[in-house]
Structure 1
């Protein structure tokens, strides 16, 4: 390494030390994330068991003593409070993980910029490639784990709870068959309706998880069906426009674009307080006669200060934006943009190079 001002060398050494510290912190956070996720899954199973016990208690209250009733309700409250606490811890760990990754990325950029000025003997090109590759792999693994957790929570709060309720109602029908056939018949009718509703919810869950028509029919029909479902479920008027998309795209393009729109609409539903949204997917000629896929999702919601959200070091407010950016820039090598103002809605968009062939 050549002679350099001490202040620049000190900055370089400090950045390297901070980068190593960030790597250790990230490893610790990810270990805690795994432990907390396992604890959440165990508590979810306990909550399901306790809920079944309480339902049986409600139906057969005369078979339980006052002490049993008190103990069961106390146990249910304890499990629910513990589950709420662990879910909150899990969320905080996810925010810490995102913030640490962002800090790690900024430190690496600083080190890479300083190395040419300091005349470092070993170029950072190979090391940077390894770090970039390792980071991409880590991001992919974490995205998979985050998706597994989301599915686990949805399964617990949706189909698992519904199935538990169906089992209980079936047991009630079984007890009524001998005592009151007419009431049993009415209960069976209600059970049939509940089963049908659970089946429809499960089908919607499967569609959100991985719509099979995406493979069979392509992006446009899948988006039309998805937008219709989201609109009906959330009382949100969504205008979908698909232009010049007659041909099929490569499978990973169709999946990534669908997930981009899905994530953007989820953000609209959760945060925008909007009454209308507009989704556009089109293929057009870009600068230099190159063809691109243009995707945009905009709403008439409350909006926000983009600069404040993007500069939020905790990652709490910009995780959704980070996910959208990663889907476009990392997976599809495209460009991501966002516009928003308080009281004037939000628009996110992507410009994606059309794949050759």
Structure 2
């Protein structure tokens, strides 16, 4: 085994290279976002014009179809009673009917082409919208990394002088970052993105419904679309809350947990009982954040994977420790088996190890799960 030692200058150089690389990546993502946004705006303008053209063409097609029927009826009458009409009148009736058929065929072909172009633009706009959202999310995530690299991580050089420790620390940051991106991506895709896509599809139907079934039906569709937009807004606010609840800074751990668990119960329709023991005092910020995240992860695991019909959360704050119990009556699992979706428990274990705390999981198939957490409150906190 080869031992390699680095001094602070070498670590500073490594960090500087990391910052430069991340900064360059951020700029590239910003450029992609701006290009996509510009293309989105251009296509939106074109789509508005195409929709107007489609409407006008459909109206023209309807008129031509009516005129063409009348012309054919006139031609049939002239042909049947040709002795009553002059040769000039017969020829004019035929030429008019023929010309209207040509005009109607051309207009319908144009209508078809415009509709195909409109559908293509709408598909491209949806893809561009997702690209812009992903790019904006990446910019936000990269900004967090840059702030971390240029702030707290720079101060930690004196504790990270050997290459192995540095590498492991960097890998943990990357793994946590990637997991958070995956979680956000899934939540956005399954929630607001799907709802907004449905809103766009429903909006396309309103014009047709108003024309075919009347304004009352169209207004009903608009009300339904408004409900979908409100649900999408709720999902976005939920994601923002999950990222960092502002109440944690203002009110402290216990009031924030009460709000979070009440919202989670309402959203998932799973009863959650919350019990707080001890004084509701403010703890050091890093401990409040850590304890909140532990409860959040434990409850989310129970909601998503346990199929529980009841969840109990108990928090006890003493002078020297913070204790948490999360219990559900779900399907349970074998803690000794490595599960495919065990990232939540792994994250809890790593967070508790950093806090020098203890984690105990009591579970078995068909017998629910109980998670017990004990985190010390040290004087240097």
1:297 aligned residue (305, 326, 342): 326
Pairs within 5 Å for 1:275-290:
275-284=309-318
Q: Give the Cα separation in 1 of the matches to 2:164 and 2:209.
A: 66
> Residue 338 of structure 1 contacts residue 348 of structure 1 at CA under 8 Å; is this kept in 2?
yes
State yes or no: 1:354 paired with 2:377.
Answer: yes
Q: Which residue of 1 aligns with 2:351?
A: 327
> Residue 160 of structure 2 contacts residue 166 of structure 2 at CA under 8 Å; is this kept in 1?
no
The structure, 1 or 2, with the larger RCO (C-alpha pairs under 8 Å, 6+ apart) is 1
Q: Give the Cα separation in 1 of the matches to 2:270 and 2:221.
A: 35
> Aligned with 1:306: secondary structure?
coil
State yes or no: 1:151 paired with 2:180.
Answer: no
How far has the Cα of 1:139 moved from its partner?
0.8
The count of corresponding residues between Structure 1 and Structure 2 is: 247
Q: Normalising to structure 1: TM-score of the pair?
A: 0.57
Change (3 A) 1:176 1:321: closer
> Aligned with 2:303: secondary structure?
helix
State yes or no: 1:219 paired with 2:242.
Answer: no
Q: Give the Cα separation in 2 of the matches to 1:181 and 1:317.
A: 49
CA displacement, residues 175-201 of structure 1 (integer Å, 9 cap, x when unaligned):
666774333333332232222222223
Q: Give the Cα separation in 1 of the matches to 2:162 and 2:376.
A: 23
Pairs within 5 Å for 1:167-206:
167-174=200-207, 180-206=214-240
RMSD: 4.1
Pairs within 5 Å for 1:107-118:
none
How far has the Cα of 1:283 moved from its partner?
1.5
Change (3 A) 1:136 1:246: same
Change (3 A) 1:171 1:266: same
Pairs within 5 Å for 1:73-92:
none
CA displacement, residues 208-238 of structure 1 (integer Å, 9 cap, x when unaligned):
2322212221211221122122223333222
Pairs within 5 Å for 1:32-43:
none
How far has the Cα of 1:147 moved from its partner?
0.3
How far has the Cα of 1:150 moved from its partner?
1.4
State yes or no: 1:134 paired with 2:157.
Answer: no
Change (3 A) 1:141 1:208: same
Change (3 A) 1:275 1:188: closer
CA displacement, residues 271-306 of structure 1 (integer Å, 9 cap, x when unaligned):
222222211111236xxxxx1111121112222232
Q: Give the Cα separation in 2 of the matches to 1:144 and 1:245.
A: 35
CA displacement, residues 294-341 of structure 1 (integer Å, 9 cap, x when unaligned):
11211122222322x2xx4xx6364332111011112x2222221223
> Aligned with 2:318: secondary structure?
strand
Q: Which residue of 1 aligns with 2:144?
A: none
Q: Give the Cα separation in 1 of the matches to 2:112 and 2:287.
A: 58
> Residue 220 of structure 1 contacts residue 245 of structure 1 at CA under 8 Å; is this kept in 2?
no
Q: Normalising to structure 2: TM-score of the pair?
A: 0.54
How far has the Cα of 1:245 moved from its partner?
4.1
> Residue 361 of structure 2 contacts residue 371 of structure 2 at CA under 8 Å; is this kept in 1?
yes
State yes or no: 1:344 paired with 2:367.
Answer: yes
Q: Which residue of 2 aligns with 1:163?
A: 196
* Unpaired runs of at least 5, structure 1: 1-11, 14-37, 39-44, 80-125, 286-290
> Aligned with 2:282: secondary structure?
coil
Q: Which residue of 2 aligns with 1:116?
A: none
How far has the Cα of 1:166 moved from its partner?
2.2
Bigger Rg, structure 1 or 2:
2
> Residue 329 of structure 2 contacts residue 367 of structure 2 at CA under 8 Å; is this kept in 1?
yes
Q: Which residue of 2 aligns with 1:120?
A: none
CA displacement, residues 227-279 of structure 1 (integer Å, 9 cap, x when unaligned):
12222333322211112242212222222212211111122123222222211
Change (3 A) 1:197 1:270: closer
Q: Give the Cα separation in 2 of the matches to 1:143 and 1:188.
A: 41
